[in-house]
A and B are shown apart, each in its own frame.
Chain A
Amino acid sequence: MGTCLKKFAAFCLVLLWPIGVINLGIAQERTYIPTRTAAGEPDLNGIWQANNNAHWDIEAHSASAGPVLVLGALGAMPGGMGIVEGDNIPYLPDALATRNEHFANRLDRDPAIKCYLPGVPRATYMPYPFQIIQGAEHIMIVHEFAGAVRTIYMNEHTAAPADSWMGWSNGHWDGNTLVIETEGFNGMTWFDRAGNHHSDALRVVERITRRSEGTLIYEATMEDPNTFSRSWTIRMPLYKRIETNAEILEFRCVEFVEDLIYGQLQK
Protein backbone atom coordinates (compact mmCIF):
# COMPACT_ATOMS: atom_id res chain seq x y z
CA MET A 1 0.00 0.00 0.00
CA GLY A 2 2.71 2.44 1.10
CA THR A 3 4.87 1.56 -1.88
CA CYS A 4 1.95 2.02 -4.20
CA LEU A 5 1.28 5.55 -2.91
CA LYS A 6 4.96 6.44 -3.17
CA LYS A 7 5.05 5.23 -6.74
CA PHE A 8 1.99 7.28 -7.56
CA ALA A 9 3.54 10.36 -5.95
CA ALA A 10 6.75 9.83 -7.88
CA PHE A 11 4.73 9.50 -11.08
CA CYS A 12 2.97 12.79 -10.34
CA LEU A 13 6.26 14.52 -9.64
CA VAL A 14 7.72 13.38 -12.93
CA LEU A 15 4.61 14.53 -14.69
CA LEU A 16 4.57 17.98 -13.10
CA TRP A 17 8.26 18.76 -12.77
CA PRO A 18 8.81 20.39 -16.16
CA ILE A 19 5.94 22.83 -15.64
CA GLY A 20 7.80 25.31 -13.50
CA VAL A 21 4.94 27.47 -12.36
CA ILE A 22 3.09 24.53 -10.84
CA ASN A 23 6.01 24.06 -8.44
CA LEU A 24 4.75 27.04 -6.53
CA GLY A 25 1.09 26.40 -7.23
CA ILE A 26 0.46 29.63 -9.10
CA ALA A 27 -0.54 28.56 -12.56
CA GLN A 28 -1.91 31.17 -14.92
CA GLU A 29 -5.68 31.20 -14.88
CA ARG A 30 -6.32 29.79 -18.32
CA THR A 31 -9.49 31.72 -18.99
CA TYR A 32 -8.08 35.11 -17.99
CA ILE A 33 -7.47 37.57 -20.79
CA PRO A 34 -5.64 40.61 -19.42
CA THR A 35 -7.39 43.93 -19.83
CA ARG A 36 -5.51 46.47 -21.91
CA THR A 37 -4.59 50.07 -21.34
CA ALA A 38 -5.85 52.76 -23.69
CA ALA A 39 -2.49 52.42 -25.45
CA GLY A 40 -3.21 48.72 -26.03
CA GLU A 41 -0.69 47.26 -23.58
CA PRO A 42 -1.49 44.60 -20.99
CA ASP A 43 -2.70 46.56 -17.99
CA LEU A 44 -0.44 46.13 -14.96
CA ASN A 45 -1.47 49.44 -13.39
CA GLY A 46 -2.41 49.30 -9.74
CA ILE A 47 -1.17 49.02 -6.18
CA TRP A 48 0.33 45.58 -5.55
CA GLN A 49 1.82 43.76 -2.60
CA ALA A 50 3.39 40.40 -1.87
CA ASN A 51 1.76 38.29 0.81
CA ASN A 52 4.42 35.84 1.97
CA ASN A 53 7.36 35.59 4.34
CA ALA A 54 10.11 35.93 1.74
CA HIS A 55 11.12 39.30 3.16
CA TRP A 56 12.46 37.41 6.18
CA ASP A 57 14.30 34.80 4.15
CA ILE A 58 13.74 33.95 0.49
CA GLU A 59 14.83 30.36 1.09
CA ALA A 60 12.51 27.91 2.86
CA HIS A 61 12.88 28.28 6.62
CA SER A 62 11.31 27.33 9.96
CA ALA A 63 9.97 29.85 12.40
CA SER A 64 12.62 31.05 14.84
CA ALA A 65 13.33 33.62 17.53
CA GLY A 66 14.24 37.10 16.35
CA PRO A 67 17.48 38.99 17.08
CA VAL A 68 15.79 41.74 19.11
CA LEU A 69 14.94 40.48 22.59
CA VAL A 70 12.45 43.18 23.51
CA LEU A 71 10.33 42.56 20.42
CA GLY A 72 9.47 39.08 21.70
CA ALA A 73 6.89 37.25 19.59
CA LEU A 74 6.46 40.27 17.30
CA GLY A 75 10.14 40.19 16.33
CA ALA A 76 10.28 36.42 15.80
CA MET A 77 10.61 35.13 12.25
CA PRO A 78 7.59 33.23 10.92
CA GLY A 79 8.33 30.19 8.79
CA GLY A 80 8.15 30.26 5.03
CA MET A 81 8.14 27.76 2.19
CA GLY A 82 10.56 29.94 0.21
CA ILE A 83 10.29 31.52 -3.23
CA VAL A 84 13.48 30.08 -4.74
CA GLU A 85 12.93 27.58 -7.50
CA GLY A 86 14.76 24.39 -6.45
CA ASP A 87 14.89 25.66 -2.84
CA ASN A 88 18.59 26.56 -2.59
CA ILE A 89 20.41 29.63 -3.81
CA PRO A 90 23.44 28.28 -5.75
CA TYR A 91 26.11 30.23 -3.83
CA LEU A 92 29.81 29.90 -4.54
CA PRO A 93 31.53 28.61 -1.35
CA ASP A 94 32.92 31.99 -0.22
CA ALA A 95 29.63 33.71 -0.93
CA LEU A 96 27.79 31.15 1.19
CA ALA A 97 30.16 31.82 4.08
CA THR A 98 29.50 35.57 3.67
CA ARG A 99 25.74 34.94 3.74
CA ASN A 100 26.10 33.06 7.01
CA GLU A 101 28.21 35.86 8.49
CA HIS A 102 25.66 38.40 7.31
CA PHE A 103 22.91 36.41 9.01
CA ALA A 104 24.82 36.27 12.29
CA ASN A 105 25.40 40.05 12.12
CA ARG A 106 22.18 41.04 10.45
CA LEU A 107 21.27 43.77 12.95
CA ASP A 108 24.47 45.62 12.06
CA ARG A 109 24.62 44.76 8.41
CA ASP A 110 21.12 44.65 6.88
CA PRO A 111 21.08 47.82 4.75
CA ALA A 112 17.28 48.11 4.99
CA ILE A 113 17.52 48.58 8.76
CA LYS A 114 19.25 51.90 8.01
CA CYS A 115 16.50 52.90 5.59
CA TYR A 116 18.74 52.46 2.57
CA LEU A 117 17.08 51.83 -0.79
CA PRO A 118 16.25 48.12 -0.80
CA GLY A 119 17.34 47.19 -4.34
CA VAL A 120 15.83 44.70 -6.77
CA PRO A 121 14.13 42.29 -6.36
CA ARG A 122 13.92 42.82 -2.58
CA ALA A 123 11.73 45.92 -2.91
CA THR A 124 9.05 43.82 -4.60
CA TYR A 125 8.34 41.46 -1.71
CA MET A 126 9.01 43.66 1.30
CA PRO A 127 5.83 43.93 3.38
CA TYR A 128 4.96 47.31 1.84
CA PRO A 129 2.79 48.07 -1.20
CA PHE A 130 4.08 49.48 -4.47
CA GLN A 131 2.35 51.08 -7.40
CA ILE A 132 2.84 50.49 -11.11
CA ILE A 133 2.07 53.48 -13.33
CA GLN A 134 2.29 52.74 -17.04
CA GLY A 135 3.19 55.86 -19.00
CA ALA A 136 3.81 56.28 -22.69
CA GLU A 137 7.58 55.71 -22.70
CA HIS A 138 8.32 54.79 -19.13
CA ILE A 139 6.73 52.51 -16.59
CA MET A 140 7.16 53.75 -13.04
CA ILE A 141 7.30 51.51 -10.02
CA VAL A 142 6.92 53.49 -6.81
CA HIS A 143 7.54 51.64 -3.56
CA GLU A 144 6.27 52.72 -0.18
CA PHE A 145 9.45 51.58 1.63
CA ALA A 146 11.96 54.45 1.70
CA GLY A 147 10.12 55.99 -1.26
CA ALA A 148 12.17 53.79 -3.58
CA VAL A 149 11.39 54.35 -7.26
CA ARG A 150 12.27 52.60 -10.48
CA THR A 151 11.93 54.02 -13.98
CA ILE A 152 11.55 51.26 -16.57
CA TYR A 153 12.72 52.53 -19.95
CA MET A 154 10.48 50.92 -22.56
CA ASN A 155 11.79 52.64 -25.70
CA GLU A 156 15.29 53.99 -25.21
CA HIS A 157 17.34 51.08 -23.96
CA THR A 158 20.77 52.10 -22.76
CA ALA A 159 23.45 50.62 -20.55
CA ALA A 160 23.42 51.77 -16.93
CA PRO A 161 25.08 55.22 -16.91
CA ALA A 162 26.21 54.76 -13.28
CA ASP A 163 25.87 52.24 -10.48
CA SER A 164 22.88 52.72 -8.21
CA TRP A 165 20.88 51.07 -5.43
CA MET A 166 17.78 50.32 -7.52
CA GLY A 167 19.70 49.56 -10.72
CA TRP A 168 19.01 50.64 -14.29
CA SER A 169 15.97 49.00 -15.90
CA ASN A 170 15.14 48.43 -19.57
CA GLY A 171 11.78 46.84 -20.32
CA HIS A 172 9.89 45.23 -23.18
CA TRP A 173 6.72 43.23 -23.73
CA ASP A 174 6.90 39.52 -24.44
CA GLY A 175 3.28 38.82 -25.33
CA ASN A 176 1.33 39.70 -22.21
CA THR A 177 4.42 39.65 -20.02
CA LEU A 178 6.43 42.69 -19.01
CA VAL A 179 10.11 41.74 -19.10
CA ILE A 180 12.49 44.02 -17.18
CA GLU A 181 16.25 43.66 -17.41
CA THR A 182 18.06 45.44 -14.59
CA GLU A 183 21.80 46.00 -14.17
CA GLY A 184 24.12 48.66 -12.82
CA PHE A 185 23.67 47.76 -9.15
CA ASN A 186 26.13 49.03 -6.56
CA GLY A 187 26.27 45.63 -4.82
CA MET A 188 25.23 47.09 -1.46
CA THR A 189 21.71 45.67 -1.26
CA TRP A 190 20.46 42.31 0.03
CA PHE A 191 17.68 39.95 -1.00
CA ASP A 192 16.08 39.65 2.44
CA ARG A 193 16.65 40.02 6.20
CA ALA A 194 18.59 36.74 6.32
CA GLY A 195 21.75 38.07 4.72
CA ASN A 196 21.23 36.67 1.22
CA HIS A 197 23.37 38.90 -0.95
CA HIS A 198 24.96 39.58 -4.34
CA SER A 199 27.71 41.68 -5.89
CA ASP A 200 27.63 44.68 -8.23
CA ALA A 201 27.73 42.22 -11.14
CA LEU A 202 24.12 41.24 -10.44
CA ARG A 203 21.79 41.16 -13.41
CA VAL A 204 18.08 40.62 -12.76
CA VAL A 205 15.52 39.67 -15.40
CA GLU A 206 11.98 40.07 -14.10
CA ARG A 207 8.86 38.76 -15.80
CA ILE A 208 5.55 40.21 -14.66
CA THR A 209 2.30 38.76 -15.97
CA ARG A 210 -1.28 39.60 -15.04
CA ARG A 211 -2.77 36.35 -13.81
CA SER A 212 -6.27 37.57 -12.93
CA GLU A 213 -7.98 40.83 -12.11
CA GLY A 214 -6.49 40.71 -8.62
CA THR A 215 -3.14 38.94 -9.09
CA LEU A 216 0.16 39.10 -10.92
CA ILE A 217 2.74 36.38 -11.33
CA TYR A 218 6.15 37.79 -10.52
CA GLU A 219 9.29 35.97 -11.56
CA ALA A 220 12.91 37.14 -11.32
CA THR A 221 16.06 35.40 -12.53
CA MET A 222 19.38 36.38 -10.95
CA GLU A 223 22.79 36.16 -12.59
CA ASP A 224 25.95 37.13 -10.73
CA PRO A 225 29.10 35.10 -11.49
CA ASN A 226 30.89 36.67 -8.49
CA THR A 227 28.34 35.19 -6.11
CA PHE A 228 26.45 32.30 -7.71
CA SER A 229 27.53 29.21 -9.62
CA ARG A 230 24.57 29.53 -12.01
CA SER A 231 21.51 31.69 -12.54
CA TRP A 232 18.49 31.06 -10.32
CA THR A 233 14.88 32.11 -10.19
CA ILE A 234 12.32 33.26 -7.65
CA ARG A 235 8.59 33.24 -8.28
CA MET A 236 5.52 34.39 -6.37
CA PRO A 237 2.08 35.86 -6.82
CA LEU A 238 1.51 39.55 -6.08
CA TYR A 239 -1.88 40.71 -4.91
CA LYS A 240 -3.80 43.80 -5.85
CA ARG A 241 -4.72 46.14 -3.03
CA ILE A 242 -8.36 46.33 -4.04
CA GLU A 243 -9.64 48.61 -1.27
CA THR A 244 -10.83 51.81 -2.96
CA ASN A 245 -8.90 54.03 -0.54
CA ALA A 246 -5.56 52.23 -1.05
CA GLU A 247 -2.73 54.72 -1.53
CA ILE A 248 1.04 54.58 -1.38
CA LEU A 249 1.69 56.56 1.78
CA GLU A 250 4.96 58.15 2.80
CA PHE A 251 7.36 55.90 4.67
CA ARG A 252 10.12 58.48 4.92
CA CYS A 253 12.14 56.24 7.19
CA VAL A 254 15.23 58.48 7.37
CA GLU A 255 13.41 60.13 10.24
CA PHE A 256 13.05 56.79 12.03
CA VAL A 257 16.71 55.77 11.86
CA GLU A 258 18.55 58.98 12.74
CA ASP A 259 18.90 58.00 16.41
CA LEU A 260 20.12 54.56 15.36
CA ILE A 261 22.70 55.88 12.89
CA TYR A 262 23.76 59.17 14.48
CA GLY A 263 22.52 58.83 18.09
CA GLN A 264 25.96 58.13 19.53
CA LEU A 265 27.19 61.39 17.98
CA GLN A 266 24.64 63.52 19.77
CA LYS A 267 25.91 66.27 22.08
Chain B
Amino acid sequence: MVHRQLNLREIVSGMLVGVFLASGVVTEISGQAGSGDYEVPRTAAGHPNLQGFWTNQTYISLERPENVDKAFYTEEEVSALEEGRAVNESAQTTPGTIPDVHYDFTQFGLDRSQATFARNLRTSLIVDPSNGRLPRMNAEGLARAEAVAEHRSRVGRWDSAQANQLDDRCMIMRGAGPPMLNAGYNSNYQIIQNRDYVMILVEMIHDARIIPLDGRSAPPERVGQWMGLARGHWDGDTLVVNTTNINGQNPINGSSQSMTVTERFTRVSDDAIDYRFTVDDPATWDRSWTAEMPMKKTIGPMFEHACHEGNYGLYNTLVGARLEERLERETSLRERQRR
Protein backbone atom coordinates (compact mmCIF):
# COMPACT_ATOMS: atom_id res chain seq x y z
CA MET B 1 0.00 0.00 0.00
CA VAL B 2 2.60 2.46 1.08
CA HIS B 3 4.89 1.47 -1.76
CA ARG B 4 2.14 1.81 -4.29
CA GLN B 5 1.51 5.37 -3.19
CA LEU B 6 5.16 6.27 -3.42
CA ASN B 7 5.41 4.81 -6.89
CA LEU B 8 2.37 6.72 -7.96
CA ARG B 9 3.92 9.86 -6.58
CA GLU B 10 6.82 9.41 -8.95
CA ILE B 11 4.56 8.90 -11.89
CA VAL B 12 2.27 11.67 -10.83
CA SER B 13 4.79 14.47 -11.29
CA GLY B 14 4.31 14.61 -15.04
CA MET B 15 1.37 12.46 -15.90
CA LEU B 16 -1.22 12.86 -13.23
CA VAL B 17 -4.23 13.08 -15.45
CA GLY B 18 -3.16 10.19 -17.63
CA VAL B 19 -2.68 7.93 -14.61
CA PHE B 20 -6.00 8.96 -13.26
CA LEU B 21 -7.90 8.17 -16.42
CA ALA B 22 -6.14 4.87 -16.98
CA SER B 23 -6.28 3.70 -13.39
CA GLY B 24 -9.51 1.81 -13.77
CA VAL B 25 -10.61 2.52 -10.23
CA VAL B 26 -13.48 4.72 -11.31
CA THR B 27 -16.86 3.13 -11.41
CA GLU B 28 -19.69 4.95 -12.99
CA ILE B 29 -22.88 5.05 -11.06
CA SER B 30 -25.50 7.41 -12.26
CA GLY B 31 -27.19 7.57 -8.90
CA GLN B 32 -30.25 5.57 -9.90
CA ALA B 33 -31.44 3.03 -7.33
CA GLY B 34 -31.15 -0.72 -7.93
CA SER B 35 -31.84 -2.00 -11.40
CA GLY B 36 -33.95 -4.84 -10.05
CA ASP B 37 -32.25 -7.85 -11.62
CA TYR B 38 -29.24 -7.74 -9.29
CA GLU B 39 -29.43 -10.51 -6.72
CA VAL B 40 -28.24 -9.05 -3.43
CA PRO B 41 -25.78 -11.32 -1.60
CA ARG B 42 -26.92 -12.30 1.88
CA THR B 43 -25.29 -12.78 5.26
CA ALA B 44 -25.56 -16.08 7.12
CA ALA B 45 -28.43 -14.48 9.06
CA GLY B 46 -30.23 -13.84 5.77
CA HIS B 47 -29.85 -10.05 5.59
CA PRO B 48 -28.54 -8.21 2.53
CA ASN B 49 -24.77 -8.29 2.81
CA LEU B 50 -23.27 -4.79 2.89
CA GLN B 51 -19.98 -5.91 4.43
CA GLY B 52 -16.65 -4.78 3.10
CA PHE B 53 -14.67 -1.61 2.48
CA TRP B 54 -16.43 1.27 0.73
CA THR B 55 -15.71 4.85 -0.27
CA ASN B 56 -17.99 7.79 -1.10
CA GLN B 57 -15.12 9.90 -2.43
CA THR B 58 -16.49 12.24 -5.07
CA TYR B 59 -15.85 15.52 -6.85
CA ILE B 60 -19.56 16.29 -6.97
CA SER B 61 -20.61 18.99 -4.53
CA LEU B 62 -23.57 18.78 -2.18
CA GLU B 63 -25.28 21.67 -3.96
CA ARG B 64 -25.57 22.18 -7.71
CA PRO B 65 -23.21 24.87 -9.00
CA GLU B 66 -24.96 28.19 -9.78
CA ASN B 67 -24.16 27.98 -13.49
CA VAL B 68 -25.61 24.48 -14.01
CA ASP B 69 -29.30 23.94 -14.63
CA LYS B 70 -29.62 20.20 -15.24
CA ALA B 71 -29.58 17.12 -12.99
CA PHE B 72 -26.91 15.10 -14.87
CA TYR B 73 -23.66 15.84 -16.62
CA THR B 74 -22.71 14.09 -19.83
CA GLU B 75 -19.78 11.68 -19.77
CA GLU B 76 -17.58 14.29 -21.41
CA GLU B 77 -18.58 17.00 -18.96
CA VAL B 78 -17.92 14.88 -15.89
CA SER B 79 -14.54 13.75 -17.28
CA ALA B 80 -13.52 17.35 -17.85
CA LEU B 81 -14.64 18.30 -14.36
CA GLU B 82 -12.65 15.43 -12.82
CA GLU B 83 -9.54 16.28 -14.82
CA GLY B 84 -9.73 19.92 -13.79
CA ARG B 85 -10.07 19.00 -10.13
CA ALA B 86 -7.23 16.45 -10.33
CA VAL B 87 -4.89 19.05 -11.79
CA ASN B 88 -6.01 21.53 -9.16
CA GLU B 89 -5.42 19.09 -6.28
CA SER B 90 -1.94 18.19 -7.46
CA ALA B 91 -0.94 21.84 -7.90
CA GLN B 92 1.88 22.79 -5.61
CA THR B 93 1.26 25.34 -2.89
CA THR B 94 3.18 28.58 -2.58
CA PRO B 95 5.99 28.32 -0.02
CA GLY B 96 5.39 30.51 3.02
CA THR B 97 1.58 30.41 2.80
CA ILE B 98 -0.74 28.68 5.26
CA PRO B 99 -1.84 26.00 2.73
CA ASP B 100 1.82 25.14 2.24
CA VAL B 101 2.14 24.14 5.88
CA HIS B 102 -0.31 21.27 5.41
CA TYR B 103 1.10 18.04 4.04
CA ASP B 104 0.87 17.45 0.33
CA PHE B 105 -2.24 15.36 -0.42
CA THR B 106 -0.81 14.15 -3.70
CA GLN B 107 2.41 12.99 -2.12
CA PHE B 108 0.57 10.72 0.31
CA GLY B 109 -1.90 9.39 -2.22
CA LEU B 110 -4.74 11.18 -0.49
CA ASP B 111 -5.94 13.22 -3.42
CA ARG B 112 -9.03 11.94 -5.13
CA SER B 113 -7.29 11.17 -8.41
CA GLN B 114 -5.16 8.42 -6.84
CA ALA B 115 -7.67 6.87 -4.43
CA THR B 116 -10.70 4.90 -5.51
CA PHE B 117 -13.67 7.13 -5.96
CA ALA B 118 -17.26 6.72 -6.89
CA ARG B 119 -18.04 8.47 -10.15
CA ASN B 120 -21.37 10.16 -10.21
CA LEU B 121 -22.97 11.88 -13.18
CA ARG B 122 -25.20 13.98 -10.96
CA THR B 123 -24.56 17.71 -10.92
CA SER B 124 -25.30 17.81 -7.17
CA LEU B 125 -25.64 15.27 -4.40
CA ILE B 126 -28.95 16.91 -3.43
CA VAL B 127 -31.81 15.35 -5.39
CA ASP B 128 -34.66 17.01 -3.50
CA PRO B 129 -35.38 19.97 -3.83
CA SER B 130 -35.19 19.30 -7.55
CA ASN B 131 -33.02 22.37 -8.16
CA GLY B 132 -30.23 20.47 -6.39
CA ARG B 133 -29.83 23.15 -3.74
CA LEU B 134 -30.55 23.37 -0.02
CA PRO B 135 -33.93 24.81 0.91
CA ARG B 136 -33.88 28.45 1.96
CA MET B 137 -32.79 28.70 5.60
CA ASN B 138 -35.64 29.78 7.87
CA ALA B 139 -35.58 32.70 10.34
CA GLU B 140 -34.50 30.51 13.28
CA GLY B 141 -31.62 29.06 11.25
CA LEU B 142 -30.51 32.50 10.06
CA ALA B 143 -30.58 33.91 13.59
CA ARG B 144 -28.44 31.02 14.82
CA ALA B 145 -25.98 31.43 11.95
CA GLU B 146 -25.70 35.13 12.78
CA ALA B 147 -25.01 34.37 16.46
CA VAL B 148 -22.31 31.87 15.47
CA ALA B 149 -20.68 34.40 13.11
CA GLU B 150 -20.84 37.09 15.79
CA HIS B 151 -19.15 34.77 18.31
CA ARG B 152 -16.44 33.86 15.80
CA SER B 153 -15.72 37.52 15.10
CA ARG B 154 -14.87 38.02 18.77
CA VAL B 155 -12.58 34.96 19.07
CA GLY B 156 -9.37 34.51 17.12
CA ARG B 157 -8.98 31.16 15.38
CA TRP B 158 -5.69 30.49 17.20
CA ASP B 159 -6.75 31.84 20.63
CA SER B 160 -7.25 28.39 22.16
CA ALA B 161 -7.57 24.74 21.18
CA GLN B 162 -11.34 25.10 21.36
CA ALA B 163 -11.32 28.05 18.93
CA ASN B 164 -9.81 25.87 16.20
CA GLN B 165 -11.83 23.89 13.67
CA LEU B 166 -13.18 20.49 14.70
CA ASP B 167 -10.94 18.62 12.27
CA ASP B 168 -7.83 20.50 13.43
CA ARG B 169 -8.76 19.45 16.97
CA CYS B 170 -9.17 15.79 15.86
CA MET B 171 -12.68 15.89 17.28
CA ILE B 172 -14.74 14.62 14.36
CA MET B 173 -14.53 14.71 10.58
CA ARG B 174 -17.07 15.57 7.95
CA GLY B 175 -17.25 11.97 6.76
CA ALA B 176 -18.50 10.65 10.09
CA GLY B 177 -21.96 12.10 9.88
CA PRO B 178 -24.68 11.30 9.80
CA PRO B 179 -25.10 12.12 7.02
CA MET B 180 -21.82 10.64 5.78
CA LEU B 181 -20.57 13.30 3.39
CA ASN B 182 -17.31 12.55 1.66
CA ALA B 183 -14.49 13.88 3.77
CA GLY B 184 -12.32 15.14 0.90
CA TYR B 185 -9.78 12.40 1.39
CA ASN B 186 -9.73 9.06 3.22
CA SER B 187 -13.49 8.88 2.68
CA ASN B 188 -13.41 5.20 3.53
CA TYR B 189 -15.83 3.06 5.49
CA GLN B 190 -15.79 -0.53 6.69
CA ILE B 191 -19.15 -2.22 7.21
CA ILE B 192 -19.52 -5.24 9.50
CA GLN B 193 -22.81 -6.99 10.23
CA ASN B 194 -24.09 -9.52 12.67
CA ARG B 195 -27.71 -10.53 13.08
CA ASP B 196 -28.63 -7.69 15.38
CA TYR B 197 -26.29 -4.83 14.42
CA VAL B 198 -24.68 -3.07 11.52
CA MET B 199 -21.43 -1.32 12.31
CA ILE B 200 -19.97 1.31 10.02
CA LEU B 201 -16.40 2.24 10.84
CA VAL B 202 -15.41 5.63 9.48
CA GLU B 203 -11.69 5.65 8.68
CA MET B 204 -11.15 9.24 9.80
CA ILE B 205 -10.69 9.31 13.60
CA HIS B 206 -11.85 5.65 13.76
CA ASP B 207 -15.45 6.65 14.45
CA ALA B 208 -17.65 3.57 14.73
CA ARG B 209 -21.36 3.95 14.09
CA ILE B 210 -23.15 1.09 15.82
CA ILE B 211 -26.67 0.63 14.48
CA PRO B 212 -28.97 -1.70 16.46
CA LEU B 213 -31.58 -3.58 14.40
CA ASP B 214 -33.47 -5.06 17.33
CA GLY B 215 -36.34 -2.57 17.32
CA ARG B 216 -35.33 -1.02 20.62
CA SER B 217 -37.11 2.11 21.76
CA ALA B 218 -35.99 5.66 21.03
CA PRO B 219 -33.18 6.92 23.27
CA PRO B 220 -33.92 9.35 26.13
CA GLU B 221 -34.02 12.95 24.93
CA ARG B 222 -31.39 14.06 27.42
CA VAL B 223 -28.64 12.07 25.69
CA GLY B 224 -26.92 14.11 23.01
CA GLN B 225 -24.00 12.82 20.96
CA TRP B 226 -21.79 14.15 18.18
CA MET B 227 -23.01 11.38 15.86
CA GLY B 228 -26.40 11.01 17.55
CA LEU B 229 -27.96 7.64 18.29
CA ALA B 230 -29.02 5.35 15.49
CA ARG B 231 -31.90 2.93 15.12
CA GLY B 232 -31.94 0.65 12.06
CA HIS B 233 -34.29 -1.74 10.30
CA TRP B 234 -34.53 -3.56 6.99
CA ASP B 235 -37.05 -2.26 4.49
CA GLY B 236 -36.97 -5.11 1.97
CA ASP B 237 -33.33 -5.21 0.88
CA THR B 238 -32.61 -1.65 2.04
CA LEU B 239 -31.03 -0.81 5.38
CA VAL B 240 -32.84 2.18 6.87
CA VAL B 241 -31.11 4.08 9.66
CA ASN B 242 -32.86 6.80 11.67
CA THR B 243 -30.57 8.99 13.74
CA THR B 244 -31.76 11.29 16.51
CA ASN B 245 -30.09 12.83 19.60
CA ILE B 246 -27.47 14.71 17.56
CA ASN B 247 -25.85 17.35 19.76
CA GLY B 248 -25.59 19.90 16.95
CA GLN B 249 -21.92 20.65 17.65
CA ASN B 250 -20.86 19.42 14.20
CA PRO B 251 -23.45 21.11 12.02
CA ILE B 252 -24.02 20.28 8.36
CA ASN B 253 -24.51 23.54 6.44
CA GLY B 254 -25.89 25.31 9.51
CA SER B 255 -28.03 22.50 10.93
CA SER B 256 -29.10 22.42 14.59
CA GLN B 257 -29.43 19.86 17.35
CA SER B 258 -33.02 19.24 16.28
CA MET B 259 -31.72 17.61 13.08
CA THR B 260 -32.70 14.02 12.41
CA VAL B 261 -31.27 12.00 9.56
CA THR B 262 -32.80 9.05 7.73
CA GLU B 263 -30.34 7.08 5.65
CA ARG B 264 -31.05 4.30 3.15
CA PHE B 265 -28.34 1.86 2.07
CA THR B 266 -29.17 -0.36 -0.92
CA ARG B 267 -26.66 -2.71 -2.49
CA VAL B 268 -27.11 -2.30 -6.23
CA SER B 269 -24.16 -4.32 -7.54
CA ASP B 270 -21.18 -6.29 -6.31
CA ASP B 271 -19.18 -3.09 -6.05
CA ALA B 272 -21.70 -0.39 -5.22
CA ILE B 273 -24.14 0.67 -2.54
CA ASP B 274 -26.64 3.39 -3.23
CA TYR B 275 -26.52 5.78 -0.28
CA ARG B 276 -29.46 8.14 0.12
CA PHE B 277 -30.24 10.34 3.07
CA THR B 278 -32.92 12.78 4.13
CA VAL B 279 -32.21 15.59 6.56
CA ASP B 280 -35.03 16.98 8.64
CA ASP B 281 -34.34 20.01 10.81
CA PRO B 282 -37.30 22.32 11.41
CA ALA B 283 -35.06 24.71 13.38
CA THR B 284 -33.07 25.37 10.19
CA TRP B 285 -35.16 24.54 7.12
CA ASP B 286 -38.94 24.56 6.69
CA ARG B 287 -38.75 21.42 4.56
CA SER B 288 -36.57 18.33 4.54
CA TRP B 289 -33.94 17.76 1.87
CA THR B 290 -32.54 14.59 0.35
CA ALA B 291 -29.21 13.71 -1.20
CA GLU B 292 -27.92 10.62 -2.93
CA MET B 293 -24.42 9.38 -3.60
CA PRO B 294 -22.86 6.06 -4.51
CA MET B 295 -20.54 4.16 -2.21
CA LYS B 296 -18.03 2.26 -4.27
CA LYS B 297 -16.25 -0.89 -3.17
CA THR B 298 -12.62 -0.23 -2.33
CA ILE B 299 -9.75 -2.30 -1.07
CA GLY B 300 -8.87 -2.74 2.59
CA PRO B 301 -7.42 -2.68 5.04
CA MET B 302 -8.06 0.62 6.75
CA PHE B 303 -5.27 1.92 8.95
CA GLU B 304 -5.63 3.27 12.45
CA HIS B 305 -6.35 6.97 12.14
CA ALA B 306 -4.96 8.06 15.52
CA CYS B 307 -5.48 11.77 14.90
CA HIS B 308 -5.48 13.26 18.40
CA GLU B 309 -2.50 11.17 19.52
CA GLY B 310 -0.30 12.69 16.83
CA ASN B 311 -1.79 16.16 16.80
CA TYR B 312 1.43 18.16 16.73
CA GLY B 313 -0.28 20.58 14.36
CA LEU B 314 -2.64 22.01 16.96
CA TYR B 315 0.10 22.25 19.59
CA ASN B 316 2.53 23.95 17.23
CA THR B 317 -0.12 26.31 15.92
CA LEU B 318 -0.91 27.52 19.44
CA VAL B 319 2.79 27.80 20.34
CA GLY B 320 3.38 29.81 17.17
CA ALA B 321 0.44 32.13 17.81
CA ARG B 322 1.62 32.88 21.38
CA LEU B 323 5.18 33.44 20.14
CA GLU B 324 3.96 35.87 17.50
CA GLU B 325 1.97 37.78 20.13
CA ARG B 326 5.00 37.97 22.42
CA LEU B 327 7.25 39.23 19.64
CA GLU B 328 4.68 41.89 18.79
CA ARG B 329 4.50 43.01 22.41
CA GLU B 330 8.27 43.17 22.65
CA THR B 331 8.57 45.12 19.43
CA SER B 332 6.01 47.70 20.50
CA LEU B 333 7.66 48.00 23.92
CA ARG B 334 11.05 48.66 22.31
CA GLU B 335 9.52 51.26 20.04
CA ARG B 336 7.94 53.02 22.99
CA GLN B 337 11.25 52.98 24.88
CA ARG B 338 13.03 54.42 21.87
CA ARG B 339 10.69 57.44 21.75
The chain A residues found within 8 Å of chain B, CB to CB, are: 37-40, 45, 115-117, 131, 133-140, 142, 147-149, 151, 153, 161-162, 164-166, 188, 244-245, 247-250, 252, 254-255, 258-259, 261-263, 265-267
Contacts and interface: CB of A to CB of B under 8 A. Distances in A.
Interface residues of B, number: 55
A97 B309 CA distance: 26
Given A38-B44, A162-B303, A262-B161, A147 B207 contact: yes
B292 to A, nearest CB: 26
A262 B314 contact: yes
Interface string B20-49: 000000000000000000000001111001
Given A161-B303, A164-B306, A265-B315, A37 B195 contact: yes
B207 A140 contact: no
Contact of A37 (B44, B158, B301): B44
A117 B160 contact: no
Contact of A252 (B49, B172, B199): B172
B321 interface: yes
A147 B302 CA distance: 16
A235 B318 CA distance: 44
A139 B194 CA distance: 10
7 contacts: A37-B44, A40-B44, A116-B309, A136-B44, A250-B225, A254-B171, A265-B322
B201 A149 contact: yes
Given A161-B301, A250-B225, A267-B156, A135 B201 contact: no
A267 B159 contact: yes
Across chains A and B, which 3 residue pairs bring their CB atoms closest together, nearest first? A135-B192, A265-B318, A39-B44
B206 A140 contact: no
B45 A135 contact: no
Interface in B81-129: none
Contacts of A252: 171-172, 226
B225 A151 contact: no
Contacts of A266: 159-161, 318
A138 B227 CA distance: 24
B10 interface: no
Given A38-B46, A262-B314, A267 B160 contact: yes
Contacts of B237: none
Contacts of B194: 37, 45, 133-135
B221 interface: no
B261 to A, nearest CB: 16
Interface in B228-279: 229
Nearest to A250: B225
Contacts of B219: 247
Interface stretch (B57-65, B71-79, B208-216): B208-216
Which residue, A40, A45, A136, A245, has most C-beta atoms of chain B within 10 A? A136
Nearest to B159: A267
B226 A164 contact: no
A138 to B, nearest CB: 6
B325 interface: yes
Given A151-B301, A151-B302, 16 more contacts: A37-B44, A37-B194, A116-B309, A117-B306, A131-B197, A135-B194, A142-B199, A164-B306, A165-B309, A188-B309, A249-B225, A262-B160, A262-B314, A262-B315, A265-B160, A267-B325
